[in-house]
Structure 1
Amino acid sequence: MSNRPAISEEAIVLRGPLVTRFSDEEFFQFCQDNRDLRVERTSDHEIIFMSPAGSLSSKHNNEVLFQLTLWNKHTRLGEVRESSAAYVLPDKATLSPDASWFSHATWARVPVSERNKFLPVCPEFVVEVKSPSDRTTTLQAKMEQWLNNGAQLGFLLDCETETAWVYRPGRPAEEIRGYDQELSGEAVLPGFRLDMRPLRAE
């Protein structure tokens, strides 16, 4: 399987030597100069502009972050980040999940000089919440890319259809239907359970 990430047909992609030659520092500055845009970068250093999330998607993102942050506040096992955080992955892509968590050990590997930039690590846990402009197949490919780069657990949530997929390394994605239940953080996030009832379709 190629490590090239899937790109949504709705996304705008910048290609060509002008942008693919950007260093990590230049790409970071490009994003700082365009803060109103949702931007990611492929492993080939093509720049992807994505549509903003809709109101309900934003609400669902916030609910996931609230539950994850509350768990982390009690356990103090690591760090939580929201969708404006980006990670420079081993395959050279720069991606931003809707929610992510990484351990203190992972944070300790980030040089102090890099901690206010895009982090050169892969989070152990990621969540992607499907927005109206997203294609499920694109997000599924992105989840596989997270695993290929070192993520240990991932949730893909389609709140409109009340479907979830749980991603674990070396195993097929587990599809779960119905949001009258919880998703376990398993050994990666001990004790964490994502209550999906607040994410039900409206």
Structure 2
Amino acid sequence: MLLLHGFGDDKTVLRPIGDALCPTGAVAVYPSLRAHGASPAPAWGYSPLDFAADVQRIADPLPRPVHVVGHSYGALVAAVLAVSLGPSLIASVALLDQAFEPCMERYEADEWAEGSFLKWHYDYSHLIDAISSLGTPVLSVIARDSPVVPEGERTRMLSRRTTRTFSCVLTEGSHTSFLRDSAVEILADFYQATFG
């Protein structure tokens, strides 16, 4: 399992998920994304493409196939990574509480201004279709009390037809509380239904 945290979090936020779901004998990898933990903070380069390139640099030694779990901005990174590395390396992608449609009113001009602009300015929704079209199973989890996925996008995501390669679940909790309250069960159900 490869678990990717979001902006302002650190790799420990997803450790309970990896600890609970990574099978015995398998490896859970929790990289510190750029400008987090011990990873350097460049003056620029906070797009999902930059983050995905960083993760791709460590991908070669990862056992195959890899189940990728991304939370918040880490979900955008996971989606870019899944498209770029393809189904020969990526077995599944879980996108935890992240918007993929543009929403400039959410842009915040702060110390993460470049990342915030790149997160909210562009439409990344095609990445979900691209991953699914590769045959890679995608699970999108949206937290009911989280403001991260705007209502219109939430409605569109939940109304998408569930297929062998795409499903979307609405769960109770906030942007981070669902990680400890329901994420393990939701992901376990997804892996069981998809992989047996």
Q: TM-score range by the shorter chain?
A: 0.3 to 0.5
- TM-score of the aligned structures, taking structure 1 as reference length: 0.34
Larger radius of gyration: 1
- TM-score of the aligned structures, taking structure 2 as reference length: 0.35
User: Normalized per residue, which structure has more helix?
Assistant: 2
User: Normalized per residue, which structure has more strand?
Assistant: 1
